[in-house]
Amino acid sequence: MRLLVATGNPDKLREIRSLLGHLAVELLTLRDFQPVPEPEETGATFQDNARLKALYYDGAVAQPAAAVQCGPVVYTVAEDSGLAVDALGGDPGIHSARFLRPDATYPERFAELHRRLSSAPRPWSARFVCAVALVHAGRVLDETIGTIEGEIAPEPRGSRGFGYDPIFYYPPYGRTLAEVPEVDKMRVAHRGHAFRQLARQLEGSATNSELRTEHRT
């Protein structure tokens, strides 16, 4: 079995490899195939966008490649994730990667979030969300979702992690996710929860090609 991990984000890819690397599957990335345009993320939820991306890359990349190479089937997994802040009505949410503007730096995004939160009482409760969709031949085979609850820190702290990690304070650790080693982050983080669920689904199949075929939400 070959599994296309359909993300162009190297930090996410590193984390996903660490979560799925123990499986008896060949992990592929978009760099292993001819480039295709990115799909427009038009979904209203993280789940919508994960499903949209998985179906798109399955049709545009995985199935054409499998047909040409006549090798083992290629399954496609895609994720959509982001930060939801309660005092901001769930923003930036599905727009996390494009918050403020597509080319904004994360320090700029942190400053804007703090500006918008300045009049709201603390703690500023928030969560990271990661939705995952597994697709083959135009069919959604499995969907998982992982979350981690925390707070927005009053200032960025830490140099580990990426994205919004420096301002995401996790109370049980007493630190932001950018202040902890990656192994500790992945033990509790949204992407860790979502992809461990997917890994258990793959491991629980009688064979790697005998995946459940119902659409699970």
- What are the tens digits of pLDDT across the range 54-111? 999 999 998 887 777 656 678 999 999 999 999 999 999 999 999 999 999 999 999 9
Query: Does residue 216 form part of some domain?
Result: no
Query: Does residue 19 form part of some domain?
Result: yes
The arithmetic mean of pLDDT across residues 166-185, rounded, is 98
Residue 209 scores a pLDDT above 60:
no
Query: Does residue 122 form part of some domain?
Result: yes
Query: Does residue 75 form part of some domain?
Result: yes
Least confident interval from 72-81, 104-113, 130-139, 149-158: 72-81
Domain count, the chain: 1
Q: What residues does 8 pair with on adjacent strands?
A: none
Query: Does residue 214 form part of some domain?
Result: no
For the entire predicted model, the pTM comes to 0.91
pLDDT band at 181; cut points 50, 70, 90: very high
Burial of 179 by CB count in 10 Å (0-12 exposed, 13-18 middle, 19+ buried)? buried
Query: Does residue 114 form part of some domain?
Result: yes
Query: Does residue 209 form part of some domain?
Result: no
- The catalytically annotated residue of 11, 32, 80, 86 is 80
The arithmetic mean of pLDDT across residues 118-126, rounded, is 97
Predicted local confidence at residue 65, as pLDDT: 77
The CATH number covering residue 37 comes to: 3.90.950.10
| Residue-averaged pLDDT of the chain | 92
Token reading at 111:
């400053």
32 is catalytic: no
C-alpha–C-alpha distance, residues 202 and 193, integer Å: 15
pLDDT tens string 25-63 = 899 999 999 899 999 999 999 999 999 999 999 999 988
Helix pair angle (10-20, 190-204), 10° resolution:
40
- Are residues 76 and 6 in contact, defined by beta-carbon separation less than 8 angstroms? yes
- Domain range enclosing 200: 2-204
pLDDT band at 211; cut points 50, 70, 90: low
Query: Does residue 18 form part of some domain?
Result: yes
